[in-house]
Structure formats: C-alpha cells, structure tokens
Structure 1
Amino acid sequence: MSGLGERQTVPLSVLLKRELANEKTEKPDVVLVHGQASENKKGEDFTLLKTECQRVVGDGVSTYSVFGLFDGHNGSAAAIYAKENLLNNVLSAIPSDLNRDEWVSALPRALVAGFVKTDKDFQRKAQTSGTTATFMIIDGCVVTVASVGDSRCILEPHEGGIYYLSADHRLDSNEEERVRITSSGGEVGRLNTGGGTEVGPLRCWPGGLCLSRSIGDKDVGEFIVPVPHVKQVKLSTAGGRIIISSDGVWDALTAEMAFDCCRGMSAEVAAPHIVKEAVHAKGLRDDTTCIVIDVYPQEKPPTSGTTQKKPVKGRLKSIFRKKSSESSSYIDKQYLEPDVVRELYEEGSAMLSERLETKYPLCNMFKLFVCAVCQVEIKPGEGISIHVGASNPGRLRPWDGPFLCSSCQEKREAMEGKRTSDRLSSGSD
C-alpha cells in the first residue's frame, strides 16, 4: 500500500491549464428561467430540459440550452426514444472544430440529419408507435426550433408581437403537405363509416395518421416523414417569452390566449396556469403539456414576464421586421438594423437534397467519407451523393457531396415516393 509521500500529484502545468480553461468559459449572453407542467390522460407526453450544456470552442467553453417536447401516439416508445437519443444524433452531425457562429449556422442542417437518424434507428426496433417532436436549442440570443407534428412553439418578444417558430403538420390545416403525400403515393381522406358518410379529421392512408410528419410510425407509408421544419431567429437584447405546448393546449387556446392568461407571472407559475386554462376550456381529452421559457439579457434581472402587447404577426407564418430598402444612406446604422427579432433561417421542405445541400457557408460541414445522416463511415466509392435523382439539382453535380450510405439513400428515396417501402404493406390498426 502506497504511503502519503508516494501519492501521485497533478503537475502544476495541468492545474494552470484547467484554471485558464475555466476562466475562458464564455458567459452566456442571456439568462434563461423555465417552468413546465403537464396533465396526463394517456401518459404519452415527454419533455427534455437541459440548461447550460457545455461545448468546447477553441481553448474555451461555450454554453447552450435544449428544450424538447415529444407527444407520442400509439404508445410511448417513440416519444421516450426520441427524448433519449435526438440530442446526441443532432450533435453528432456537427463538426467538432467549429467556432460559435459556425456552430449556430450548422444547427439547421444538423437538426434535419438528427431527426432522420432518430426515426431510422427507432424503426429498426419494429415498434409501431410514433411521436411529434418540437426541439429547441438556445445559444445566446439565437433560438433554433425544429418540429414535426402538431405541438407548437411560439414567441412573444419583450418589444411585443407573437411569432410562430414551428409549423403545424396536421393534414386538416396544411394543404401543401396533403399535396406532397398524394404525390408520393399516399391517400388522404376521412374515416368512412359506410354509405359515403365521412367523419373525423383528414387522415393519411395506409395507417390513418392525422399528421404528415412524425418520428416512428413504422406501420404507415414512408411519406409520413421525419424531416423537420426548422426556423432560427435572433432575439432582441430585451429578450422575451417562449411557450412550447402539445396539442392539448392548442386545441383549447390560441397563441394570444396563452400569453394573455399568464401575463405578469413567472415562467414557473405560467406553465401550470396555461395547462389549467386549457383543461378548464376543453376538459382533459388528451395529454396536455406546457414548457415556458423566459429569456432575459444578462445585465437585466428577471421580471415577471413580458409587459408589452402588440397584434399577432400571423396565424401560421411569422412575419419579421426587416431593414427597409428605401432607407437613406445618411441614416445611422443602428436605425437600419433595429433591435428586434430577426429571422436567420427558415425551411420546411421534406426533400433531403434541399435540406442537406452543399450551397452552405461551411466548407467542412460534411465529411467526405461519412454519411450525412447516420454518421457511419463510408468506404471510398460507396457513398451516394444527396443530389442523385434530385428533381432540381441546379448547378450541383451528382458527384458533389454530401453523401449518404446505401441505407439512408433508400430511406430518402422512399420518403420522396421513389421506392416502395415495406411499411406500405404492413397496415395499421
């Protein structure tokens, strides 16, 4: 047994390096305060709340926070799996040597890859449940939201207005998705009770799902895709309030009602109050879950929510203030770029060739011999360009990357209606 004098010591150089690393940890630009609440009917709603996650940036550390809501159907397996694996799948699709600005710019593509990989891996388990997913990453003042299904994420900045950060993928309300499904070989219609009588919401057949996008759902066609709508915005320095809720809330409350009913309350109090209001209005017909996040500037102490109120900026599409092209050159720059919410990115296409294209500011976003979706190594000559068979490749050539492995290429073709999937013959209850 070693004596005290023989105990190994840590070299002074190592201790100094650790101390320097701690000093170089970037202070977050904002302070986040969150609350969550849920009333269960089926026990299929799950949330993910991870604050102050750390990422190495050069010789320092940057922080970000993650919030997710997963509303399962036909069981809870898909929701649980997405909660446990989606974040890691997104992070694995981002190169490790990016600075903060590059990392934020890489998030939209990485979220697409992470959603598709999570869906692909879960379907190998041969379970038929599915889940919506509303997934948000906050890095400083930049908020990035990826969503499939009908849970909704909305923002009320401190300066007023309401902005939708997610898209609804309900067949009843999304004509573009109905067209995409029928063009890919699926059918859209209501339940037929006999004699030509149709009841209930529009559904996709086979399977009978009311949603056009989800994670899981092995028992329906591949045209029910996991490719998320992604929106990225930069908040003003005044911050704001964000609400993420499952359809149990939105079936009962509008966005204005949700914000109004909790105005002046802290995030911890606001979340259960929104759930209470939704259940009071419609009864507990479904799992009803709400996450409220208040974003404050670092120098401003938390207050009880936003106080200003302006008209909603559109029902399903956010309208962001933009710099006027008619501004005179002598106007100071600060007036050309007002301190309000700014949209940095938005895309909702279901086509992987459009979502993972190479027209991208980062030359090192995709590795040459690694699948852009599942991140498996591809032997030279075996990778398949994402642009092969693309309907509108533009100036991109089939041998341009990024590349997919054969398995992910098969999934891509099935999602775009170019390959008959085994899922089409499996049927659904």
Structure 2
Amino acid sequence: MKGSTIRQRRITSLLTAMAVCFSVTAIVAPPSPFVGEATAQSKADIEQAKKRFRAGKKFYGEEKFLEAAQAFYEAYELSGRSELLYNVGRSYWKAKELKKAEKFLQQYLNELPDAPNADEVVESIIQIQEEMAAQMANVEVKASRAGVDIVVDKEPEPRCQTPCTVSLLPGEHTLTARLDGMKPITRTITIEAEQQSSVHFDLPGRLQISTDQRTGTVSVPGVGQFSLPLSQPIALPAGTHTVTVAGEDARWSGDIEVVGGDVTRILVPLGGIDGGAGDINLLRTASYGLVGASAGFLVGGIVLGMQASDAHAALDSQQKALGGVDPDLVERGQSAQSGANWMYALSAVSLASGAGLFAWDLYGGGSSQEEEIPPSKPSPSPKQDNEPGEGDDDLLGIGSN
C-alpha cells in the first residue's frame, strides 16, 4: 500500500512537472520542433498542445486512462516533446493496454536515453513484460492442410505454419491464413487471460480439368460455368461437387471430391463419348477398332513369318544333309510366308483406314446431331489426382466458407 502511494505521488509529480515545462518552454524555448513554419503557427500548435496536455491530466485524474493516453499523445505530436511519451506509456499501463504501454515507454527511452528517470522506466518495462507473460493465452491453429502461413494482427511476417500454437495477449486479435495461389482468409477472435482456445481454417479447394476437346464448358451448380480450356483452377469449397464437362459433340457429368487447400486435377476424355444419351460415336469407335485390328494383323504376320523362317531353316538343313528336300515342308514354308505377307498388308490397310476415320471425325465428319443431349457418364471414368497447390495462378470462381 505504501509503495503504491509513493508511485502515485511520483506520477502526480511528473504530470505537474510537465505542466510547468509547457508553461516555461512555450515562452523561452527556441522553436526547434517547428523550424521553417511561421511564428503564429508555432504558437498555435504549442497552445493546442498545452490544452491537450491539461485534458490528459484531467482524464488521468478521473481514471479515464485510454482518453488520457490519447490526449497526451496528441500533445506529443503537436509539440514534439519526448517527455510526453512517458505519460502516454503510463496511461496505457493503467488502462491494461500492456503492449502499447511497453511500446511508448521504450520509445521514451529511445528518444531520451539520458532521462533522469531512465532506471525507473527500465524497471517498469520489465514489470510490464512479466505481466504480459503471465496473461498470455495459447491459441491452437489448424487448417485443411499443413504448411499454411498464419499472420497475427497484420504483423509483417507469419507467426507460424499450420498446425501450430500462438501465444497472444488478452483482447481482440486477427489471424490470417495465407497460402500461395489462394486469397487470404482472416478470422477475428477475442480471448481472455490464460485462455486455451483453437481456430480452424476451412480452406477452399481448387479444380483443374483437362479434356481432349478444343472448346467446351465446365459447369458446377452453385458456382458457375467456365470455358474450356481452363487457364486457371476453379475455386470450390472442400467436399463433393457434381461437375459437368461439355465438349463440341459430347458431355460428361460426375461427382468429384475436392480437397481443401489442394488442387484436384482430372482428365476427362470426351473423344469416345457421343452427344447422344449414351450412344456410341461410330466413326471414333470404328477408327479405334481398325487400329486394334491392325495390331492383331501385325502380330499374326510376325507369327507366320517366324514359322516361314523355321521352315526355310529346316529345308537348308535337309538340302545339306540329304541332298534333297521334303515337298510338304516346302509347301508349308511357302504357305506361312504368303500368310505373313497378307497379314502385314492387312495391318497396314487397317491402320491407314483407322487413322483416316479418326481424322474425319476429328476435323468435321462427326455426329450431325444438333438437339440438346442429357448428361451421360462415360466409361472409363476420368483420371483424378490431388496435389498441393503451391505456385498456382489466381483462381476462377468463388470459394465459400
């Protein structure tokens, strides 16, 4: 109790001394804080600074410490006198604004390192820091994926990466989650001294679709429609979405799982799907069949060619050993060679025909159907892959949550 009384007397003495300082320096001190300005303007600033100082004293006496801190700071800005920073810091300390109290008392020492009460101010700063340490609250921060930068109260650098725990003073704070290629997400929280709490950031996912079509659209209910090819991923809330991909003469619709914070990439091959409700694209299917037949003929030709080669080797052995050859073996060899030649020829013709049909379908000979076709599911399903979204461009669409 006695120490508190002595401390209060010190504060009151300092405030009184500051009032005397203003009264004297306003008259005799050189106008160094206002060099280059008109004398009338300098006097006006000093007079206004004295009014704000007196208002700060009044607020301090009425225990309106935040108002007192603001008034003292305005007096400091008008006059440029560093002594007022002590009053600002003490007022914030009384108002339990410990971070601001530490800031202004430290600024006071930086501007007046040889101040008569420097030792006392150092002790005050240490005491404030101890009070802050005792009141710190821990906040556990998580997100839809690991490695998300967490920025606290607009600090210049991230405090940590998810999952992590940050220590904060009591009061209101903002936590911002940042990830390359995504818009920052901010949460505002209010915590009490020594409170344990948690914050979870539900990050949107991104969907990148590729097809074998030159033009088309991608539609997601509730999000929008986008033109193919996609130049950037589509931003979507994490979860399952029904996606429709429509090409020049084909359409696919299915459910895609989008992972928060990641890019989900899928390949939708529309080439084998006709625009009809499940009908087959005959030209494209025929071209694939001919190519397959070509491969079969080629294999058959290789097998028959190997048989013909074995027959010729056997004939050579008989000729050397017996001086003659078996007519049946000669016939089998000729037959195998003739069959191999036919197989090679058929393989070439099938391959050329398949390529011709494929080119015809691709460049204008496809389906002539013009009516709108309901969605259909192809077989096989599109390939899907999830991967981290680092380095991706900005998003299309609007994410939620």
Normalized against structure 2, the TM-score is what?
Answer: 0.21
Q: Which has the higher helix share?
A: 2
Normalized against structure 1, the TM-score is what?
Answer: 0.20
Say which one has the larger Rg.
2
Between the two structures, name the one with larger relative contact order (CA 8 Å, sep ≥ 6).
1
